[in-house]
Structure 1
Protein backbone atom coordinates (compact mmCIF):
# COMPACT_ATOMS: atom_id res chain seq x y z
CA UNK A 1 0.00 0.00 0.00
CA UNK A 2 2.79 2.44 0.83
CA UNK A 3 4.42 2.12 -2.60
CA UNK A 4 1.09 2.64 -4.37
CA UNK A 5 0.38 5.76 -2.31
CA UNK A 6 3.84 7.20 -2.94
CA UNK A 7 3.37 6.52 -6.67
CA UNK A 8 -0.06 8.20 -6.60
CA UNK A 9 1.30 11.37 -4.99
CA UNK A 10 4.28 11.41 -7.36
CA UNK A 11 1.87 11.10 -10.31
CA UNK A 12 -0.13 14.04 -8.92
CA UNK A 13 2.98 16.24 -8.90
CA UNK A 14 4.11 14.99 -12.31
CA UNK A 15 0.75 16.16 -13.69
CA UNK A 16 1.11 19.42 -11.73
CA UNK A 17 4.53 20.07 -13.25
CA UNK A 18 3.21 19.65 -16.79
CA UNK A 19 0.09 21.77 -16.08
CA UNK A 20 -2.04 18.71 -16.80
CA UNK A 21 -5.18 19.64 -14.86
CA UNK A 22 -7.11 16.69 -16.30
CA UNK A 23 -4.34 14.36 -15.15
CA UNK A 24 -4.44 15.81 -11.64
CA UNK A 25 -8.22 15.62 -11.45
CA UNK A 26 -8.19 11.98 -12.58
CA UNK A 27 -6.24 11.15 -9.41
CA UNK A 28 -8.83 12.67 -7.05
CA UNK A 29 -12.02 11.32 -5.52
CA UNK A 30 -15.25 13.08 -6.57
CA UNK A 31 -15.67 14.42 -3.02
CA UNK A 32 -12.05 15.55 -2.61
CA UNK A 33 -11.39 17.92 0.30
CA UNK A 34 -8.95 20.72 -0.47
CA UNK A 35 -7.51 22.77 2.40
CA UNK A 36 -6.08 25.90 0.80
CA UNK A 37 -3.07 27.47 2.52
CA UNK A 38 -4.30 30.16 4.92
CA UNK A 39 -7.70 29.94 3.26
CA UNK A 40 -10.89 28.01 3.11
CA UNK A 41 -11.62 24.32 2.82
CA UNK A 42 -13.28 23.40 -0.46
CA UNK A 43 -15.07 20.17 -1.33
CA UNK A 44 -15.58 18.36 -4.59
CA UNK A 45 -14.07 17.95 -8.00
CA UNK A 46 -15.65 21.10 -9.48
CA UNK A 47 -14.23 23.32 -6.74
CA UNK A 48 -10.79 21.78 -7.31
CA UNK A 49 -11.10 22.28 -11.07
CA UNK A 50 -11.97 25.96 -10.52
CA UNK A 51 -9.02 26.35 -8.13
CA UNK A 52 -6.63 24.92 -10.74
CA UNK A 53 -7.99 27.26 -13.41
CA UNK A 54 -7.54 30.22 -11.06
CA UNK A 55 -3.98 29.19 -10.25
CA UNK A 56 -3.10 28.72 -13.93
CA UNK A 57 -4.33 32.26 -14.63
CA UNK A 58 -2.17 33.87 -11.94
CA UNK A 59 0.86 31.60 -11.46
CA UNK A 60 3.22 29.28 -13.34
CA UNK A 61 4.75 26.82 -10.88
CA UNK A 62 6.96 23.75 -10.67
CA UNK A 63 7.39 21.43 -7.68
CA UNK A 64 11.06 20.49 -7.35
CA UNK A 65 13.08 18.37 -4.92
CA UNK A 66 9.97 16.32 -4.15
CA UNK A 67 10.07 13.90 -1.21
CA UNK A 68 6.98 11.75 -0.56
CA UNK A 69 6.28 9.66 2.54
CA UNK A 70 3.29 7.41 3.22
CA UNK A 71 1.78 5.64 6.21
CA UNK A 72 2.17 1.88 6.39
CA UNK A 73 -1.44 1.29 5.40
CA UNK A 74 -1.22 3.76 2.50
CA UNK A 75 -4.17 5.88 3.65
CA UNK A 76 -2.12 9.00 4.39
CA UNK A 77 0.86 10.68 2.77
CA UNK A 78 3.01 13.76 3.09
CA UNK A 79 5.10 15.57 0.52
CA UNK A 80 7.81 18.15 0.93
CA UNK A 81 9.14 20.15 -1.99
CA UNK A 82 10.23 23.56 -3.18
CA UNK A 83 7.79 25.44 -5.34
CA UNK A 84 9.46 27.56 -8.01
CA UNK A 85 7.09 29.98 -9.62
CA UNK A 86 6.37 33.08 -11.62
CA UNK A 87 3.62 35.48 -10.58
CA UNK A 88 1.83 36.16 -13.86
CA UNK A 89 -1.28 38.16 -13.07
CA UNK A 90 -2.35 40.06 -9.96
CA UNK A 91 -4.43 37.89 -7.62
CA UNK A 92 -7.13 39.53 -5.48
CA UNK A 93 -5.77 40.97 -2.25
CA UNK A 94 -2.14 40.26 -3.14
CA UNK A 95 0.68 42.48 -4.46
CA UNK A 96 0.68 43.53 -8.10
CA UNK A 97 2.08 40.94 -10.49
CA UNK A 98 4.71 41.74 -13.08
CA UNK A 99 6.45 38.44 -13.69
CA UNK A 100 8.20 38.15 -10.32
CA UNK A 101 9.77 34.80 -9.49
CA UNK A 102 9.67 33.03 -6.16
CA UNK A 103 10.82 29.86 -4.45
CA UNK A 104 9.25 28.50 -1.27
CA UNK A 105 9.36 25.31 0.77
CA UNK A 106 5.94 23.62 0.83
CA UNK A 107 4.44 20.83 2.89
CA UNK A 108 1.43 18.92 1.59
CA UNK A 109 -0.67 16.25 3.23
CA UNK A 110 -2.99 13.71 1.64
CA UNK A 111 -5.70 11.23 2.53
CA UNK A 112 -6.03 8.32 0.11
CA UNK A 113 -9.18 6.27 -0.40
CA UNK A 114 -9.79 3.61 -3.04
CA UNK A 115 -6.53 4.37 -4.81
CA UNK A 116 -7.34 8.07 -5.22
CA UNK A 117 -6.53 11.26 -3.35
CA UNK A 118 -9.41 12.22 -1.04
CA UNK A 119 -7.75 15.20 0.69
CA UNK A 120 -5.06 17.72 -0.25
CA UNK A 121 -3.78 20.14 2.41
CA UNK A 122 -1.01 22.60 1.51
CA UNK A 123 1.15 24.72 3.80
CA UNK A 124 3.70 27.37 2.88
CA UNK A 125 4.82 30.69 4.29
CA UNK A 126 2.61 33.33 2.63
CA UNK A 127 4.60 36.16 4.28
CA UNK A 128 7.80 34.85 2.67
CA UNK A 129 6.05 34.65 -0.72
CA UNK A 130 4.79 38.23 -0.30
CA UNK A 131 8.29 39.46 0.55
CA UNK A 132 9.70 37.73 -2.53
CA UNK A 133 7.17 39.17 -4.96
CA UNK A 134 7.44 42.62 -3.33
CA UNK A 135 11.15 42.76 -4.17
CA UNK A 136 10.73 40.79 -7.39
CA UNK A 137 13.11 37.91 -6.81
CA UNK A 138 13.22 34.50 -5.19
CA UNK A 139 15.06 33.95 -1.91
CA UNK A 140 18.34 32.13 -2.40
Structure 2
Protein backbone atom coordinates (compact mmCIF):
# COMPACT_ATOMS: atom_id res chain seq x y z
CA UNK A 1 0.00 0.00 0.00
CA UNK A 2 2.86 2.41 0.79
CA UNK A 3 4.47 2.01 -2.62
CA UNK A 4 1.09 2.31 -4.34
CA UNK A 5 0.35 5.57 -2.49
CA UNK A 6 3.73 7.06 -3.42
CA UNK A 7 3.34 5.89 -7.02
CA UNK A 8 -0.15 7.47 -7.14
CA UNK A 9 1.28 10.74 -5.77
CA UNK A 10 3.92 10.93 -8.51
CA UNK A 11 1.57 9.72 -11.27
CA UNK A 12 -0.78 12.57 -10.34
CA UNK A 13 2.20 14.96 -10.43
CA UNK A 14 3.08 13.83 -13.95
CA UNK A 15 -0.55 14.31 -15.07
CA UNK A 16 -0.67 17.76 -13.46
CA UNK A 17 -3.61 16.57 -11.36
CA UNK A 18 -3.35 18.56 -8.13
CA UNK A 19 -6.62 17.17 -6.73
CA UNK A 20 -5.35 13.60 -7.10
CA UNK A 21 -2.07 14.55 -5.43
CA UNK A 22 -3.97 16.06 -2.50
CA UNK A 23 -6.01 12.85 -2.19
CA UNK A 24 -2.82 10.94 -1.33
CA UNK A 25 -2.04 13.31 1.55
CA UNK A 26 -3.06 12.90 5.18
CA UNK A 27 -4.84 15.82 6.85
CA UNK A 28 -1.76 16.14 9.10
CA UNK A 29 0.71 16.82 6.27
CA UNK A 30 4.12 18.53 6.13
CA UNK A 31 6.14 19.35 3.00
CA UNK A 32 9.85 19.68 3.70
CA UNK A 33 11.45 21.35 0.71
CA UNK A 34 15.06 21.21 -0.43
CA UNK A 35 15.52 24.96 0.15
CA UNK A 36 13.21 26.99 2.38
CA UNK A 37 10.66 26.64 5.12
CA UNK A 38 8.48 23.60 5.79
CA UNK A 39 4.92 23.95 4.48
CA UNK A 40 2.27 22.65 6.85
CA UNK A 41 -1.09 21.40 5.61
CA UNK A 42 -2.70 20.60 2.30
CA UNK A 43 -3.65 24.21 1.54
CA UNK A 44 -0.05 25.46 1.79
CA UNK A 45 1.08 22.54 -0.36
CA UNK A 46 -1.62 23.28 -2.98
CA UNK A 47 -0.51 26.93 -3.15
CA UNK A 48 3.10 25.79 -3.64
CA UNK A 49 2.04 23.40 -6.43
CA UNK A 50 0.07 26.12 -8.22
CA UNK A 51 3.13 28.38 -8.14
CA UNK A 52 5.34 25.55 -9.42
CA UNK A 53 2.93 24.79 -12.29
CA UNK A 54 3.10 28.43 -13.43
CA UNK A 55 6.87 28.57 -13.17
CA UNK A 56 8.03 25.11 -14.28
CA UNK A 57 6.79 22.29 -16.51
CA UNK A 58 8.21 19.01 -15.25
CA UNK A 59 7.90 15.31 -15.93
CA UNK A 60 9.43 12.72 -13.62
CA UNK A 61 11.01 9.65 -15.24
CA UNK A 62 13.13 6.65 -14.22
CA UNK A 63 11.03 6.35 -11.03
CA UNK A 64 12.07 3.78 -8.42
CA UNK A 65 9.97 3.56 -5.23
CA UNK A 66 11.02 1.90 -1.98
CA UNK A 67 9.10 1.25 1.24
CA UNK A 68 9.64 -0.33 4.63
CA UNK A 69 7.80 -3.48 5.70
CA UNK A 70 5.65 -1.61 8.22
CA UNK A 71 4.21 0.65 5.49
CA UNK A 72 5.10 3.81 7.39
CA UNK A 73 8.15 5.02 5.44
CA UNK A 74 9.04 5.25 1.78
CA UNK A 75 11.36 6.86 -0.71
CA UNK A 76 11.55 7.48 -4.43
CA UNK A 77 14.41 8.24 -6.76
CA UNK A 78 13.75 9.78 -10.18
CA UNK A 79 14.89 12.20 -12.87
CA UNK A 80 13.21 15.60 -13.28
CA UNK A 81 12.89 16.61 -16.95
CA UNK A 82 11.85 20.24 -16.91
CA UNK A 83 11.36 23.54 -18.64
CA UNK A 84 11.80 26.82 -16.76
CA UNK A 85 8.75 28.85 -17.84
CA UNK A 86 8.56 31.95 -15.63
CA UNK A 87 11.26 33.62 -13.51
CA UNK A 88 11.08 32.51 -9.89
CA UNK A 89 12.05 35.36 -7.51
CA UNK A 90 15.69 35.11 -6.44
CA UNK A 91 16.59 32.65 -9.21
CA UNK A 92 18.01 33.14 -12.72
CA UNK A 93 15.79 34.63 -15.42
CA UNK A 94 13.50 32.15 -17.17
CA UNK A 95 13.83 31.87 -20.94
CA UNK A 96 12.31 28.46 -21.54
CA UNK A 97 15.51 26.65 -20.49
CA UNK A 98 15.42 22.85 -20.34
CA UNK A 99 16.96 20.93 -17.46
CA UNK A 100 17.49 17.31 -16.39
CA UNK A 101 18.02 16.84 -12.68
CA UNK A 102 18.35 13.74 -10.48
CA UNK A 103 16.06 14.04 -7.45
CA UNK A 104 14.37 12.11 -4.69
CA UNK A 105 11.59 12.17 -2.16
CA UNK A 106 11.31 10.72 1.34
CA UNK A 107 7.95 9.91 2.90
CA UNK A 108 6.21 9.18 6.19
CA UNK A 109 2.75 7.61 5.96
CA UNK A 110 -0.11 7.04 8.40
CA UNK A 111 -3.38 5.23 7.65
CA UNK A 112 -2.26 4.80 4.03
CA UNK A 113 -1.84 8.56 3.49
CA UNK A 114 1.31 10.68 3.20
CA UNK A 115 2.05 12.74 6.32
CA UNK A 116 5.46 14.01 5.19
CA UNK A 117 7.34 14.40 1.96
CA UNK A 118 10.90 15.70 1.91
CA UNK A 119 12.15 16.61 -1.54
CA UNK A 120 15.84 16.60 -2.48
CA UNK A 121 17.63 17.90 -5.56
CA UNK A 122 20.89 19.73 -6.20
CA UNK A 123 19.89 23.40 -6.53
CA UNK A 124 23.37 24.45 -7.68
CA UNK A 125 23.21 21.90 -10.51
CA UNK A 126 19.80 23.29 -11.56
CA UNK A 127 21.12 26.88 -11.45
CA UNK A 128 24.13 25.85 -13.57
CA UNK A 129 21.86 24.20 -16.15
CA UNK A 130 19.43 27.12 -16.50
CA UNK A 131 22.24 29.69 -16.49
CA UNK A 132 24.21 28.06 -19.31
TM-score, normalising length: structure 2: 0.98
The residue that corresponds to 1:94 in the other structure is 91
Residue number in structure 2 paired with 1:34: 31
Aligned residues: 132
Give 2:8's aligned residue. Answer: 11
- Displacement of 1:55 in angstroms is 0.3
Deviations 1:110-134 (A, max 9, x none): 0011111100100100000000000
Structure 1: stretches of 5+ with no match in the other structure? 136-140
Q: Distance in 2 between matches of 1:98 and 1:70?
A: 38
- TM norm structure 1: 0.93
Partners of 2:36 and 2:59 in 1: CA distance: 21
Given candidates 56, 59, 65, the residue that maps to 1:59 is: 56
Q: 1:77 aligns with which of 74, 79, 82?
A: 74
Q: Where do 5+ consecutive residues of structure 2 fail to align?
A: none
Q: 1:138 — aligned with what?
A: none
Structure 2 residue aligned with 1:104: 101
Aligned equivalent of 2:128, options 127, 131, 140: 131
Which runs of at least 4 in structure 1 moved beyond 3 Å after TM superposition? none
Superposition deviation, residue 39 in structure 1: 1.3
Equivalent-residue separation in structure 2 for 1:30 and 1:56 (angstroms): 23
Distance 1:98 1:32 in 2: 34
